Amino acid sequence: MIPIKNDEEVGRIREANRIVAMVLHTLKDEVKAGVSTWELDRIAAEIIRGEGAKPAFLGYQIPGLPPFPAAICASMNDTIVHGIPRKGDVLRDGDIIGVDVGTVKNGCYGDGAWTYVVGGVPDETIRLLEVTLASLLCGIAQAVAGNRVGDISAAIGAHIRKNGYHAADSLTGHGVGFALHEEPMVPNVGRKGLGARLRAGMTLAIEPMVNVGTSRVKEVGWEFKTADGSLSAHFEHSILIRDGEPEILTKTG
Ligand code: MG
């Protein structure tokens, strides 16, 4: 069952996501050459706790891996998602870094991600980021009551494919709100008209993960990397389904 949230619950989910957006907005100015991903994690954790929330990723458990050790995921260059922040991972001019932020406050969860560039990057890298963000917006445009999950997935996948890139295999968006991950799965490829019907009051995290060279992924502990070492970008918004245009809960301003 896909949970439908009432107004009071939406209010709490909105608040958790407001904090996610605040972190992602603040990090825009903190991402620069010489800064470690560990330092970005420290800044994010401080903001989250300062807002009376907790980092939702810290201590997150999946079978077979140690609990996730940080507040954010920091995924550089060929790392698609779930990168672990480290003191030794220092940003350099020309890098890209995807930051994924999860929060929990008053029992409700927020989730969002942004990919930043460090200094100057080639035009082709800018294009990857633009296409990935645009594919997210294509998906959001389909996220209206009465449509189906497959309408979101098809719109994202078509935009990625049309631009010559690849949606990362097996990694999907998801419902979010009462848990960090809840039903439904929201794939980044799919077919129009298939999947669960969207209803007002559903809250979804939509998150295209887009690779330059291949859809294939390679898992290294927590981290998902592109199988061919090519770059990967990731943007994620949590949204509220309504009749008509969805509300983006993680707008960074
Ligand atoms: Mg997510």
Supply the pLDDT for residue 252. 83
Ligand 1 centre distance from Cα of residue 101 (Å): 8
DSSP E strand boundaries for 38-177: 54-55, 72-76, 79-81, 96-105, 108-117, 166-167, 173-175
User: How far does the centroid of ligand 1 lie from the alpha carbon of residue 112, in Å?
Assistant: 6
Q: Does 60 reside within a domain? A: yes
Domain extent at residue 62: 7-248
Residues whose Cβ atom is located within 5 A of ion ligand 1: 111, 205
* 1 in a structural domain: no
CATH number for the domain harbouring residue 106: 3.90.230.10
Residue type for position 6: N
Could you tell me the distance, in angstroms and rounded to a whole number, from the CA of residue 32 to the centre of ligand 1?
Answer: 24
pLDDT at 216: 98
* Other beta carbons within 10 Å of 63: 4
CA 74 – ligand 1 centroid, Å: 13
Q: Is residue 2 part of a domain?
A: no
What is the number of domains present in the chain?
1
pLDDT digits (tens, 9 = 90+) for 15-63: 999 999 999 999 999 999 999 999 999 999 999 999 999 999 999 999 9
pLDDT greater than 80 at residue 253: no
89: CA distance to ligand 1 center in Å?
A: 23
Question: Distance, CA 8 to ligand 1 centroid (Å)?
Answer: 22
What ranges in 122-252 are assigned the alpha helix state H? 123-141, 149-162
In a domain, 253, yes or no: no
Q: Evaluate if pTM is beyond 0.85.
A: yes
